[in-house]
Amino acid sequence: METLTSAINVQVDARDKEEATNILKDLGLNMSTFINMSIKQVIKRGGLPFEVTNPKPSVELLEALEEGEKIIQELENGQRKGYHNVRQMFEDILNEND
């Protein structure tokens, strides 16, 4: 039985291609072999051979963003003092005890 092949032309970011190529090379694979393996897995699994997710921000990140918003509000409401540069901040710190 004759095996038919078909070419696939895909546009990818040049840096992504280079990074993936280097990783695959370390694994003893080339891009063509990897693509063929991936396609075979899609066929065998009837879907993607990996989980596709939309990463959620961590609790720590959400808390930091919330704290940042609070600080901005306090600055805008005059409840917190802000500085335009480090020199102003240090002058204020040094003059606190006067």
Q: What is the pLDDT of residues 10-59, one digit of tens each?
A: 999 999 999 999 999 999 999 999 999 999 999 999 999 988 888 889 99
Instruction: Say what the pTM is.
Output: 0.52
Triad 36, 41, 44: Cα angle to 5°: 125
Q: Which domains occur in the chain, in start order? A: 1-52 (1.10.1220.10), 59-95 (no CATH)
The one-letter code for the residue type at 80 is R
Which token pair is 4? 């038919």
